[in-house]
C-alpha cells in the first residue's frame, strides 16, 4: 500500500530557484508556509518573487520543480539553467505549473538542447476547474484555463509526457467533475490527480489579510469539495486508471467509510 503523502506522492525531492509567485492563488500552500515560518512579510511580498540563494540540486532523484513559484518569461533562462544542472546530476524532472503557451513554448525550444529530455521530463499542469469565474476568484492572476490547456497540448505534441493536477478541486457540484476529466484526457493528459483543499480555513486565514476578502473566500468554501462529500462526488468519475487520487482524498474517503460503518453498527456517528 502506498502511504506516501504530499510531494512524496509525485517525486523524491523538490527544487526552486525563487520564493514567491505572481499567480496570487488564495489557497496557495507555499505562501501559507512561507508566512507561517516568517520567510516573507505577507501576501504583498509573496506576489513579487525573489531569487533564492544558489544551492546544490539533488542527485539521481525524481525532482518536482518548481513548488514555490511558477515558470514565467521573467525566469525562463534561470529555469533552463536549473533544468540542465538537475539533468546533469542524473535526475528526472516533474515540472508543475500553471503557465500558458508563451513561456512553455519557449521552454520547449530550449529543452531541445538536452539529450534524452523527453525521457527525463514530465509536465504536470495545475488545472483546478473549467469554470472561468471560479478560476478568477481563487487564482486571480494565474493564466487562463484555456491557455494552460493549450500549453499542455503543446508539450504533448512536442513529445513530452503530460499530466494534470486538480488540487484543490474547485468544483461547485458533481456535474463539473466528469467534463473536467474528459477535457484533460482530450488534451493529452496521461494522468489526472484529484485532491481537495486541506486545512482550508486556516490556509485562507493565513493567506488573505483583509477581512472582506477573507470572509468571501470562506463563504465560497461552502461551494467547494470538502472532506465530508469528496467520496460521493468522486463516484461521478469513470473507473479509469488515469484517475489518480491524492493522499488528502484517500484519507477523507477512508475516514468517511469508517464513520459510516460504525454508524451502521449502531454506534454514534461523529
Global pTM value: 0.91
pLDDT digits (tens, 9 = 90+) for 59-78: 999 999 999 999 999 999 99
By percentage, how much of the chain surpasses pLDDT 70?
A: 91
How far is Cα 122 from Cα 269, in angstroms, rounded to an integer? 43
Per-residue cell: 206:
493565513
Given this model, what pLDDT does residue 204 score? 84
What does the longest C-alpha to C-alpha distance in the chain come to?
65
pLDDT digits (tens, 9 = 90+) for 1-10: 456 777 889 9
pLDDT digits (tens, 9 = 90+) for 93-120: 999 999 999 999 999 999 999 999 999 9
Given this model, what pLDDT does residue 265 score? 40
Given this model, what pLDDT does residue 173 score? 81
Mean pLDDT for all residues in the chain: 89
Given this model, what pLDDT does residue 219 score? 81
pLDDT exceeds cutoff 80 at 186: yes
pLDDT digits (tens, 9 = 90+) for 206-263: 888 788 888 888 787 766 767 677 777 788 899 999 999 998 888 877 776 655 543 3
pLDDT exceeds cutoff 90 at 121: yes
pLDDT exceeds cutoff 80 at 129: yes
How far is Cα 3 from Cα 245, in angstroms, rounded to an integer? 12
Pairing of strands 50-51, 18-19: antiparallel
List of domains in the chain:
6-264 (3.20.20)
Q: If you average pLDDT over residues 118-137, what whole number do you get?
A: 96
Burial grade of 214 (CB within 10 A; 0-12, 13-18, 19 or more): middle
Q: If you average pLDDT over residues 183-210, what whole number do you get?
A: 89
Per-residue cell: 140:
486571480
Amino acid at each position: 500500500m502506498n502511504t506516501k503523502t504530499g510531494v512524496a506522492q509525485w517525486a523524491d525531492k523538490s527544487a526552486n530557484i525563487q520564493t514567491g509567485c505572481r499567480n496570487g492563488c488564495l489557497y496557495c500552500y507555499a505562501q501559507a508556509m512561507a508566512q507561517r515560518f516568517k520567510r516573507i512579510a505577507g501576501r504583498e511580498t509573496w506576489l513579487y518573487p525573489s531569487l533564492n540563494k544558489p544551492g546544490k540540486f539533488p542527485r539521481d532523484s525524481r525532482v518536482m520543480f518548481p513548488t514555490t513559484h511558477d515558470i514565467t518569461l521573467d525566469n525562463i533562462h534561470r529555469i533552463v539553467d536549473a533544468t540542465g544542472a538537475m539533468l546533469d546530476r542524473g535526475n528526472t524532472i516533474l515540472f508543475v505549473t500553471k503557465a500558458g503557451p508563451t513561456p512553455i513554448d519557449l521552454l520547449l525550444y530550449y529543452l531541445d538542447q538536452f539529450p534524452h529530455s523527453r525521457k527525463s521530463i514530465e509536465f504536470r499542469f495545475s488545472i483546478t476547474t473549467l469554470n472561468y469565474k471560479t478560476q478568477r476568484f481563487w487564482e486571480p492572476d494565474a493564466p487562463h484555463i484555456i491557455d494552460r490547456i493549450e500549453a499542455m497540448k503543446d508539450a504533448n505534441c512536442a513529445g513530452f509526457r503530460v499530466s494534470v493536477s486538480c488540487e484543490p478541486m474547485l468544483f461547485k457540484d458533481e456535474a463539473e467533475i466528469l467534463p473536467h476529466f474528459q477535457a484533460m484526457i482530450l488534451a493529452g493528459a496521461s494522468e489526472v490527480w484529484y485532491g481537495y483543499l486541506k486545512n482550508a480555513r486556516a490556509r485562507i486565514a493565513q493567506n488573505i489579510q483583509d477581512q472582506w476578502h477573507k470572509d468571501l473566500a470562506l463563504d465560497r468554501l461552502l461551494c467547494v469539495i470538502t472532506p465530508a462529500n469528496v467520496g460521493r462526488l468522486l463516484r461521478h468519475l469513470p473507473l479509469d486508471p488515469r484517475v489518480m487520487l491524492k493522499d488528502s482524498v484517500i484519507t477523507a474517503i477512508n475516514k468517511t467509510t469508517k464513520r459510516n460503518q460504525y454508524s451502521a453498527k449502531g454506534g454514534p456517528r461523529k
